[in-house]
Every structure is written in structure tokens, then in C-alpha cells.
Amino acid sequence: MKIPKPLWIALATALSTQALAANTNTLVGWAAMPPATFSDGPTSGQFVSANPYGTFLPPYTNLQPVQGFSAVLPGADGNNFLFLTDNGFGAQANSADTLLRLYSVHPDFKTRRGGTGTVTASNAVTGTSLARFTEPSRITLNDINQKLMIPLQADITHYYDKDANPAVDPQIQFGRLLTGADLDVESVRQDKHCALWFGDEFGPYLIKTDASGTVLRSEISLPGVYAPQHKDVVAGKATSNLGGSGGFEGMAITPRGDKLYALLEKPVEGDPANQLRINEFDIDREHFTGVTYFYKLQVAGHAIGDMTAIDDNRFLVIERNGDTATNGVPFKRIFLIDTRGIADGGTVKKTELVDLMRLDDPYDLNGDGAKTFTFPYVTIESVLPLDERTLLVVNDNNFPGGGGREQAADVTEFLKIRLANSIPGLSAASFGKKARTLCGRGERQDS
């Protein structure tokens, strides 16, 4: 039977559209957390400027901002996640009253089958829903046993050691709670012993705590690398060779939980142009092995947001520029990198996996009236494999900043992305989930 030409054209168009859709990454779950989401704690925001939009103005009396988020771990179960807060308000000089915490979060994803698209607090151990972000929902970092060798806000009378500033909150002093002026933690992983490892930008340092957030040992520096806030630079014993806010932005852990791979956000002086160091760290021996790889940025001036392991050799890396929907041309992508066959000091292989500015959204899950979803926020700092075809991706809203989608304070959006093609071995990246479950039940607490 001969097919009439108009019908033939229609069939060809339909087949072409189906083929394109088959190779498109798809938004299958979406939720959002409002900017003004707080937890109890010391008054915060006493040193930060008001945002240009005139909303959510600081200070926040007896409150701590829950956002923005700079890293994610699996939570008590598959419906909950642990998110690491950034250092507070973006700088060492304005975050002394902001606590470093992990919060347990439950997104009720909106999907094609329903869901509210809202986000609530949950118990960090059991996953039980909570009405507010209170003590059971969080892990607060502290140095109660005085292990760190860096100066802390908890040990002085007034913030930033200036009599003209408010007195350091008694909660911070009594518990030796860590603040955003002490460390800028941007990444976190949990090892096979249930210890938590945090990647900091001020040193850059690695910080080890137990599962409750109590520091277990002194900070670990990356040999030969010094950010401007490194204790040796401040003391005049070393010269900075890494730009500010250029430390351990991303950090992956192997499925066995025995090695960390810490990725700097900025190049070290003398390194190849536009290339970032990936530093191997032996968890059992607690030292950097000296093995280093390089990640080459797509364009000079880009930055990375997160790094997550698939297996011992393959990792997911978020790369982005600083542009948004209200300023410039946003570049927000996830790459698959591979160290197999790469010698020490070599540049890793890199393949684009997801363009976060071009996701198929056939059911318009975020309700913007479009069938293509874009994710144009300044910083996107959390990616977690959920299975071999699905990724969780979340932005850092830089509270109370904004301008991502509109001239207003940004929300935090939680995305479930269905990959066009599965990645072999991606399901093996569930070590962290197993570790969280074991640690949550208290079955493994040797650290």
C-alpha cells in the first residue's frame, strides 16, 4: 500500500520526534523549598548586607537559615536526604554567627502521578516527618574536644574579636560549635567507619568528625596548597597560591569507602591553565597519597559545583558559570569523567552527560507553562545518583541572595532527572546509602 505524501511526512516527523525524545534527559520529579526556611539557634545574619530585593532582611533573631545547600548525602531512607549548609552568607567576614550543619530533608516530589512539590524536615536517624527543622532533623558540627588547630569564634568574647561587635552567642561558646567564619565546608562524605569527612575552602582542609558532627582530629591540609585564609598564610609562614573560595568544592568517595577524591574549585598557581586538581586521599592512613589528576574546564572562568563517584574510576562533576536567567547566558552541565588509563598528573577523560539548561519536561512539573525545563541558578552544588538512570540535583540558593530565575531571593529546587541512557555501574554508587543506614542504626560506630 502506498502511503500518501502528507501522511508519510507526518509519520516521519513523529518518528523523528520520538527518536529525539529517546535521547533527551527528562525531569521526572520536582520540588521547591521557600527562601525563608529557618531552624532554631543563635541569632544569625548580623554581619551580612541586605539583599537588593528588600526581602528576608537580616538579622534573623534566634534563627539559623537552613539554606543554601552545598552538598548532599543519602538520608535515613530513599525518601530523605542529608544536605550540608554552606558557610552561611558567602564569606568568612559575614558568617561568624552562622552554624555549620547538615539537615535531613524530605522532598515530596511532584511527578506525573501526583505529589505536592513541597519540602519538609525529617528526623535525621529515622526519616520520620517533622513539622519544623528542629534538633532531631540536624547534625551540628562542633569541636567540643578541642582537636582543631585553627582559631575558632567559640574561643573569643566578641565576634571577629572586636569589642564593637556583639558577644559570641553562649551556645556557640559552650558547645564549641563551628561557624561559617571558622570553615567554609562545601563537600561531605561518609566513610566505611561511619565518620564524616568535610571538604573546606579556607585551608583548604579536610575535616573529620564522627556521625554526630564532633571533630575527631586536627584539620588536614593539602600539601603545598594555600588559600588566603590558611592558618600558615595568616601567620605569615606561607604564601597563598590558591584563590579565595577555591578549595575543596567537590569531593567523592569510592564505593568501598576507603578513598576520597577532593576536587579544587580554582587552579593552583603554576598548574596547567584552566585545569583543577583532583587529589587522592587514603582514609585508613588519613593522608593524601600524592596521586593527582586534572579536570579541564570547558571555558576559563568556569567553576565546579560537586563531584560524586560512580565507581573507583568514574565520577560525575557539575560544571557551571556564574550567569543566570536574569544575567548573561547560563552554562550548567553535568559531566562524566574517567581516570582509567590516565597516569598520575594527567587530565581525566570527560563526556557531557546532562545539560541542565535543556531538560525535557513533558508534564510541566514546575508549572511554568513550558515543556523544556531550565535550571539557571548561580550555583548548583549537589548531585546524587539514585539508581542507574536517575540523578538528584539541587541548587544552592545563596540565601538571601537571588536572581536565578527572577529579581528576587531564590528558592531551592530539587530535581529528579531521568537519564536518556543508563550508566553501567551507576547503581553501585549506593555505598553512601548503605553506610547511612548502618550508622543510623548504630551498627558501626568505630572511627
**185-190 and 196-200: which strand pairing?**
antiparallel
Query: Using an 8 Å Cβ cutoff, are 194 and 447 in contact?
Result: yes
Locate 54 and state its grid cell.
528588600
Residue at 105: amino acid letter: V
- H or E segment and range at residue 108: strand 101-108
Provide the domain limits for residue 55.
23-440
CA distance 190 to 74: 10
Q: Model confidence at 51, in pLDDT bands (50, 70, 90)?
A: confident
Residue 222 lies in a domain: yes
Query: Using an 8 Å Cβ cutoff, are 178 and 99 in contact?
Result: yes
Query: Using an 8 Å Cβ cutoff, are 267 and 275 in contact?
Result: yes
Residue 369 lies in a domain: yes
Residue reference for cell 576520597: 260
Residue 447 lies in a domain: no
Residue 18 lies in a domain: no
Distance between the two ends of the chain, CA-based, in angstroms? 73
> Structural domain tally of the chain?
1
Report which of 115, 116, 134 is spatially closest to residue 124, judged by C-alpha positions: 134
In this predicted structure, what is the pLDDT of residue 23?
Answer: 64
CA distance 404 to 330: 10
Q: Which of 88-92, 108-112, 380-384 comes out lowest in average pLDDT?
A: 88-92
Q: How far is CA 328 from CA 266, 286, 318, 388, in A?
A: 21, 43, 19, 33
In this predicted structure, what is the pLDDT of residue 439?
Answer: 64
Q: Model confidence at 427, in pLDDT bands (50, 70, 90)?
A: low
Alpha helical stretches, state H, 274-392: none
Query: Using an 8 Å Cβ cutoff, are 169 and 43 in contact?
Result: yes
* Phi-psi label, residue 379: left if phi above 0, alpha if psi -120 to 50, beta otherwise: beta
Residue 17 lies in a domain: no
Residue 217 lies in a domain: yes
**26-33 and 248-253: which strand pairing?**
unpaired
- Higher-scoring residue by pLDDT: 436, 298: 298
Whether the predicted model's global pTM rises above the 0.85 cut: yes
Residue 200 DSSP label: E
CA distance 118 to 31: 5
CA distance 369 to 145: 54
Residue 13 DSSP label: H
Q: Model confidence at 233, in pLDDT bands (50, 70, 90)?
A: very high
Q: Model confidence at 47, in pLDDT bands (50, 70, 90)?
A: very high
Residue 3 lies in a domain: no
- The answer, yes or no, to whether the previous bond of 330 is cis (omega within 30 of 0) is no
Q: Dump the DSSP string for 225-283.
A: ---TT-HHHHTTSS---B-TT-SEEEEEE-TTS-EEEEEESSPBTTSPTTEEEEEEEET
Query: Using an 8 Å Cβ cutoff, are 280 and 292 in contact?
Result: yes
Write b or e for each residue in 281-302: b if 16 or more Cβ atoms lie within 10 A of its Cβ, otherwise e: bebeeeebeebbbbbebeeeeb
In this predicted structure, what is the pLDDT of residue 8?
Answer: 35
Locate 57 and state its grid cell.
532582611
Mean pLDDT along residues 206-233: 98
* 174 phi and psi angles, rounded to 5 deg: -65, -45
CA distance 277 to 174: 38
* Phi-psi label, residue 286: left if phi above 0, alpha if psi -120 to 50, beta otherwise: left
CATH number of domain containing 100: 2.120.10
Q: In what order do the strands lie in the sheet with 390-396?
A: 372-373, 359-360, 26-33, 412-418, 390-396, 379-387
Query: Using an 8 Å Cβ cutoff, are 214 and 177 in contact?
Result: no
Task: For residue range 260-303, list pLDDT tens digits in order.
Answer: 999 999 999 999 999 999 999 999 999 999 999 999 999 999 99
CA distance 69 to 62: 20
Query: Using an 8 Å Cβ cutoff, are 92 and 111 in contact?
Result: no
Query: CB 48: neighbour CB atoms within 10 A?
Result: 23
Locate 182 and state its grid cell.
571558622
In this predicted structure, what is the pLDDT of residue 182?
Answer: 98
Task: For residue range 238-271, list pLDDT tens digits in order.
Answer: 999 999 999 999 999 999 999 999 999 999 999 9
Residue 163 lies in a domain: yes
Report which of 125, 260, 284, 146 is spatially closest to residue 200, judged by C-alpha positions: 260
CA distance 139 to 76: 13
